[in-house]
Structure 1
């Protein structure tokens, strides 16, 4: 008798391992795993599809698209596509990211410097 989660071929496996969480948002198109670079939003009242830079947060009724799918996007008949400037190049760290990283490295180094200073003072003359 087979256990729960098993088929005739063996244990059932998810297409995406449940213990892996990617910090990179992926294209919403089926079977496309490329990184998303743009967000598509529909404005139904105006019959408009708006394609803009990747939104800061994933929203339920917005679709993240990769560079290829955002370039090939077409709208239904009678709809207008509004394309906002999208940087499809590889994401590079901003100066804010680099500064935050440098500050984190400095902060991590500080406790070691304090500990070294405390040990040196205890074994000195008169101590």
Structure 2
């Protein structure tokens, strides 16, 4: 950078606003484009929080004119901030309740057995005959 200043007197500045990735476009970016190659899908969504490799920031004009290659699908995600619906909040609350429940101990095996041998962590069990009329 010092060499540029010494030769031309120009010091490049870095803008805090991200620009459109299209060549020669200086408009501010408002959308991020990414590709899902496995699904042949181009996903256009709100501007990503961080600059990611293999993602492209686009201005409103270029995002509107975006087309995908033949055989590909374009998925356009809502641009504005979304507010969670009642169903979303209820699902989140249910997930938190489920995670807070204590783990259930594993169920004991059905039937009865007698340990007749052991080798380290393995046990040899023998089934005990059950009397008739006893429910399983």
In angstroms, what is the RMSD of aligned CA positions?
1.9
Give the match for residue 50 of structure 1: 43
Q: CA separation of 1:64/1:13 partners in 2, compared to 1, >3 Å: closer, same or farther? A: farther
Instruction: For CA contacts below 8 A with separation 6 or more, give which structure has more relative contact order.
Output: 1
Q: How does 1:1-127 map to 2 (within 5 A)?
A: 11=7, 17-18=11-12, 20-87=13-80
Q: Deviations over 1:46-87 (max 9, x none)?
A: 000000000000001100000000000000000000000124
| SS state at 1:69 partner | helix
User: Runs of 4+ in structure 1 displaced over 2 angstroms?
Assistant: 11-14
Number of aligned positions between the proteins? 76
Q: Quote the offset at 1:12 in angstroms.
A: 6.2
Alpha-carbon separation, structure 1, partners of 2:8 and 2:56? 29
Higher strand share: 2
What is the TM-score normalised by the length of structure 2? Answer: 0.51
Calculate the TM-score normalised by the size of structure 1: 0.55
5+ residue gaps, structure 1, are 6-10, 88-127
Larger Rg: 2
